[in-house]
Structure 1
Amino acid sequence: MKTADEALQILVSSMRPITETERIPVVDGLGRVLAEPVISPIDVPAYDNSQMDGYVGVAVEMNNALAPLPVSQRIAAGHPGAPLAAGTVARIFTGAAIPQGANAVVMQEQTRSEGENSIRLLQPVMPGQNIRPKAGDLHRGQVILERGRRLSAADIGLCASVGLAQVSVIRRLRVAVFSSGDELRQPGESLSFGQIYDSNRRMILALVQGVGCTPVDMGCLPDQLSITRDRLQQAASQCDALLTCGGVSVGEEDHIKAAITTLGTLDLWKVAIKPGKPFAFGRVGEAVLMGMPGNPVAAWVTFCLLIRPALLTLAGSRVNPPVGLRRPAAFEWLQPDSRQEYLRGWLDPQGGVRIHERQNSSVLSSVTESAGLVEIPASTPVRAGESVRFIPYTELLH
């Protein structure tokens, strides 16, 4: 069996990123992958401007003034002022352009009013003080965002700050999502004895959407090889990737593996992690297929660790592996598995790592009641106080 790192390397290296692009409004860019670098067409700021409300003048004149300084004009943001008259200051507001001839801003709290139109400084002024210089943030022609970056809200703001209304992005991946099993019923239906609700497919559809892909709900596959094969083949003709949940174990009614080998290639079978051992990766036609276990926590873990980075790579995105945190264990784990384990846990107020009391892979509430995964190396017992790696869900799903 491959380790988690080995399996991830196989998945990522096997992806052939899509290349089709489209131009979209910047405002619609959240989560989209840039198809080309974003280059600033302007300097930001485009002119020297005031960092705060106050008075602008010439530093040496303000420092050497023996009498109150006359206020010769008022300059608001968006309303350029006239060149500064010698021996005077101008009232200026945050973001307003520095007038020609001035080189320092003194904040209003460091001045005292002397009559209706003059002030006196309460402390010395330095040249350049409280001035945001032209191009101090970005300069014209600068690459501000690299190709392959998934746009964040801050990135969208940055694009807008240089006047861009549109960006070129890679088209969204179409990802087919299947569940599998005759025991599954859909939410809203009545359950008979031995049946359960199809929760995994809803969860995976939401996770796929969170990655920035277009999820395609393909429903639930029955425990019949011929139907499974036909529906996978149909989905492969419409989508870039196929995700299945359940049907990849060794049971007589688990047909996903058999369907893959009939339709295409099976490149990975089983991964040495707990939960998540029954994991499949292959191809059906031009589409990649990744099969998750049917237990919900195992599906969650394999999506976070393996499927998400694979989908991002296929979508043309740069992938940053999770770093995690090293923190002392506030628990004991004295009977480790021979596979690398991922426990559900969280950080306590003292900075220690605690784990959910129920670690069974069927207990989905252990995910909703935790904040991340606790990595336990294979065959490694953990005692209280020993350092463990905690990986927040915010890193795994960002």
Structure 2
Amino acid sequence: MTTLSQIAAELQGYDPQAMSATDVQLFLSRLVSPVEDAVELPLFEALGRVLAQDVVSPFDVPPHDNSAMDGYAFAGRQLAGGAALELQVVGTALAGKAWQGRDGHVKSGQCVKIMTGAIMPAGLDTVVPQEFVSARNDVIGIPPGLLQLGDNRRLRGEDLAQGQPALLKGELLTPARLGLAASLGLKTLLCWRPLRVAYFSTGDEILSLGDAPREGAVYDSNRYTVFGLLSRLGCQVIDLGVVRDDPALLEAAFTRAAAQADAIITSGGVSVGEADFTKTMMKKLGDVAFWRIAMRPGRPMAVGRISSVKLASGPDNAHLASYRNNSTPEGAILFGLPGNPVAVMVTFLAFVRPALLQMMGASSAPPPLLRARSLEAIRKKPGRTEYQRGWVSAAADGTLQVKTTGNQGSGVLRSMAEANGLMVLHHAQGNVAPGDEVDVMMFEGAI
């Protein structure tokens, strides 16, 4: 097991008090490792899961040469002269069965009416769409210069050849990929098991829904946004609620979380000047680093591993035995996020989500950032990465444009709820003028 100090030693210029967003991403990519348990799932249960092995095509797709159009199939060599062509229709080929005809062959000067997807009759290799011909009785006319040999024919195996990988280990199973697996006749797929992620909020000022309001306290929104973010990823979420700033309660929460989960996410308790019970307990139970990241919002963050320590015996802990037996031997990965609601979402999207996807066994690269023209001036100092909440839309000329959605304070949820992406203003970037292009991280599928 690689320790945090070993990872830090590999990173040039590592400084936990001045981490760039790029350094955080690199550090986390070296900290986490994929789960190793796989399960065979029916296709209807596999959406959003990660493939644990390559899927190899058991046959050619398509299995026969077939027509890409409703039209007329004929031997394309008859186009060689470049003149108009007249052909006699000698039958109809329907999808789902081979055309037999009178003797199974089509002579020169003849054609077969054919439906989309129908098997090409022997010796025929070209299809003219029905809307391009003139028809009189059983004779069609094809204008000169309309076609080339092989037009409108799908070749056997042109989609997938037998033995060719159709889906690759590490791919997320999207609706299109489920359809591809079904087209190969597969009923089940071997997938990595869901990631188990435990989450709790910390702080004496946090109210759970249903609690009576009190002065100085706020209702816990982080718990619900993190639940939504994890659910969108297909994680098994273990909700441990709100934990007060009490050493015994915090130790119990971390202990239970490490026994049940592959990863632990907390919000609050990692900023300078806050009550240090949370940080003290993180240090006591694991190998944890506390960072100050050059970013806005979301400067403080804790990462590391929390040991899966032995729980006290008793009826209250009996149900944890099955989780403990399957837990990661080196403990659960810890992501200690800031307490402010927008900072939680930004640090999750920028750092935690890519790390969890890596733990899930996903090999796909993160979605590319889009480029959009800023509709307003934005003040920005080089030396930190800023994530501005924005609304991306199409301009009249079809290009993308973006504007901020109001107050960018790290506790202002409304501007996050009204956004459809984050403007990513990079570490070395300065002020943005109206019309300047900026990078945008879109929310679709994440928030």
TM-score normalised to structure 2 length: 0.83
Q: Is the 8 A contact 2:263 2:334 kept in 1?
A: yes
- TM-superposition CA deviations, 1:297-344 (whole Å, max 9, x none): 000000000100111111111141343134443222336485321111
Alignment match of 1:325 (pick from 370, 374, 395): 370
- C-alpha distance in structure 1 between counterparts of 2:151 and 2:95, whole Å: 18
Partner of 2:431: 381
Alignment match of 2:417 (pick from 364, 368, 375): 368
- TM-superposition CA deviations, 1:65-106 (whole Å, max 9, x none): 999633222111102101233242211100000011212111
- C-alpha distance in structure 1 between counterparts of 2:394 and 2:122, whole Å: 55
Pairing 1:262–2:284 present: yes
Q: Is the 8 A contact 1:33 1:317 kept in 2?
A: yes
Letter in 2 for 1:37: D
How do 1:146-161 and structure 2 match up within 5 A? Answer: 146-161=168-183
Count of paired positions: 396
Alignment match of 1:59 (pick from 67, 70, 76): 76
Partner of 1:47: 64
Partner of 1:197: 219
- TM-superposition CA deviations, 1:167-207 (whole Å, max 9, x none): 11111110001112222223344423322221111110110
How do 1:130-149 and structure 2 match up within 5 A? Answer: 130-149=152-171
What is the SS of the residue equivalent to 1:346? strand
Deviation at 1:35, TM superposition (A): 0.8
Mark the runs of 5 or more structure 2 residues left unpaired by the alignment.
1-17, 308-330
- C-alpha distance in structure 1 between counterparts of 2:432 and 2:147, whole Å: 60
Partner of 2:263: 241
Letter in 1 for 2:279: K
Partner of 2:356: 311
Letter in 2 for 1:164: L
Q: Is the 8 A contact 1:185 1:197 kept in 2?
A: yes
Partner of 2:35: 18
Q: Is the 8 A contact 1:224 1:253 kept in 2?
A: no
Deviation at 1:348, TM superposition (A): 4.5
What is the SS of the residue equivalent to 1:394? coil
Deviation at 1:109, TM superposition (A): 1.1
Q: Is the 8 A contact 1:104 1:129 kept in 2?
A: yes
Pairing 1:299–2:299 present: no
Q: Is the 8 A contact 1:178 1:218 kept in 2?
A: yes
Partner of 2:442: 392
CA gap 1:269/1:229 in 2 versus in 1, 3 angstroms: farther
The more displaced of 96-105 and 336-345 is 336-345
CA gap 1:268/1:313 in 2 versus in 1, 3 angstroms: farther
Mark the runs of 5 or more structure 1 residues left unpaired by the alignment.
none
- C-alpha distance in structure 1 between counterparts of 2:84 and 2:418, whole Å: 68
Deviation at 1:294, TM superposition (A): 1.0
- C-alpha distance in structure 1 between counterparts of 2:184 and 2:126, whole Å: 26
- C-alpha distance in structure 2 between counterparts of 1:136 and 1:354, whole Å: 45
- C-alpha distance in structure 2 between counterparts of 1:151 and 1:349, whole Å: 30
What is the SS of the residue equivalent to 2:238? strand
Letter in 1 for 2:443: Y
The more displaced of 183-192 and 154-163 is 183-192
- C-alpha distance in structure 2 between counterparts of 1:319 and 1:69, whole Å: 51
- C-alpha distance in structure 2 between counterparts of 1:67 and 1:193, whole Å: 88
Deviation at 1:365, TM superposition (A): 1.4
Letter in 1 for 2:139: S
- C-alpha distance in structure 1 between counterparts of 2:362 and 2:394, whole Å: 35
- C-alpha distance in structure 2 between counterparts of 1:114 and 1:62, whole Å: 20
Partner of 2:110: 88
Letter in 1 for 2:408: Q
Partner of 1:167: 189
Q: Is the 8 A contact 1:84 1:90 kept in 2?
A: no
Letter in 2 for 1:368: A
- C-alpha distance in structure 2 between counterparts of 1:84 and 1:11, whole Å: 65
- C-alpha distance in structure 2 between counterparts of 1:66 and 1:197, whole Å: 78
- C-alpha distance in structure 2 between counterparts of 1:121 and 1:384, whole Å: 57
CA gap 1:184/1:66 in 2 versus in 1, 3 angstroms: closer
Pairing 1:74–2:92 present: yes
- C-alpha distance in structure 2 between counterparts of 1:384 and 1:58, whole Å: 61
Partner of 2:323: none
Letter in 2 for 1:304: L
Pairing 1:279–2:301 present: yes
Q: Is the 8 A contact 1:57 1:84 kept in 2?
A: no
What is the SS of the residue equivalent to 1:279? strand
Q: Is the 8 A contact 1:180 1:244 kept in 2?
A: yes
Q: Is the 8 A contact 1:309 1:319 kept in 2?
A: no
CA gap 1:53/1:294 in 2 versus in 1, 3 angstroms: same
Letter in 2 for 1:75: A
TM-score normalised to structure 1 length: 0.92
The more displaced of 42-51 and 74-83 is 74-83
CA gap 1:312/1:46 in 2 versus in 1, 3 angstroms: same
What is the SS of the residue equivalent to 2:156? coil
CA gap 1:344/1:147 in 2 versus in 1, 3 angstroms: same
What is the SS of the residue equivalent to 2:33? coil
